[in-house]
Structure formats: structure tokens, C-alpha cells
């Protein structure tokens, strides 16, 4: 993941303005205050095409875990889907969990 342009306003309705081909934007909640930062994750062009109506966010938790949240822009926060990832490489890495979540929720 890489940081999106810091000079732009945080606009959830135009959230993919920095994303290149195959990239999706993610809201990263930073500890300890919950400040938001825009991040880019490369998931491939096929999966990136499935996230136009999704809001994706993530936060690092204690003990090396990352919480990844996905929901439709039109859905309430209570309809958010959550999966936990291991903060590191492997099949349960944040990037792999994100890809699985997009596959699962991007076609709803």
C-alpha cells in the first residue's frame, strides 16, 4: 500500500481520484486518534473495476492484526463487513484479505 496524495480534500463521493489502473483507495484509520489517511492498494484491474460502489477502510489493531472493512456507499455503517488480516506477508496478509473481500462483496 502507498499513501494517496495528501494535498487533496478527503471526499468520500470522489474517493478514487488518485487511483491508477488496478489500484483502489482505502481509508486508513491511524492510531491513537483515529485520524484518516487515504491509501492506495494494488489489487489488479479486474478487482479494481468491482469497487466503484464500495467504501473500504482499514485499521491496525494490537497483536499484529489489521481490520479491513467493506460496505456499499449507499449502505449504513451497520451493514459493514469485517475481516481480520495478519500484518505481514502470506495468504492472510492485508492485501490478500482485501482481494478476497472485493471478490466476495464487489458483485453484490
Q: State how far the Cα of 45 lies from the Cα of 36, in Å rounded to an integer.
A: 25
- Which residues have a Cβ under 8 Å from the Cβ of 28 and sit 6 or more positions away? 1, 36, 37, 38, 39, 57, 58, 59
Q: What is the pLDDT of residues 13-29, one digit of tens each?
A: 555 566 778 999 999 99
Q: Give this prediction's pTM.
A: 0.81
Per-residue model confidence (pLDDT) at position 63: 87
C-alpha cell at 103: 471478490
Q: What is the pLDDT of residues 33-81, one digit of tens each?
A: 888 888 889 999 999 999 988 999 999 998 889 999 999 989 999 999 9
C-alpha cell at 62: 494490537
- Which residues have a Cβ under 8 Å from the Cβ of 50 and sit 6 or more positions away? 102, 103, 106, 107
- What confidence category does residue 89 fall into, taking pLDDT thresholds of 50, 70 and 90? very high
% pLDDT > 90, the chain: 53
Amino acid at each position: 500500500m502507498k499513501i494517496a496524495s495528501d494535498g487533496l480534500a478527503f471526499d468520500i463521493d470522489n474517493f478514487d481520484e488518485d487511483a491508477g489502473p488496478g489500484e483502489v483507495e482505502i481509508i486508513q484509520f491511524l492510531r491513537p486518534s483515529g485520524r484518516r489517511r487515504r491509501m492506495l492498494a494494488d489489487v489488479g484491474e479486474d478487482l479494481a473495476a468491482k469497487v466503484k460502489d464500495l467504501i473500504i477502510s482499514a485499521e491496525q489493531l494490537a497483536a499484529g492484526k489489521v481490520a479491513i472493512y467493506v460496505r456499499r456507499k449507499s449502505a449504513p455503517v451497520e451493514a459493514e463487513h469485517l475481516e481480520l488480516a495478519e500484518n505481514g506477508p502470506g495468504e492472510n496478509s492485508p492485501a490478500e484479505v482485501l482481494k478476497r473481500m472485493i471478490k466476495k462483496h464487489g458483485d453484490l
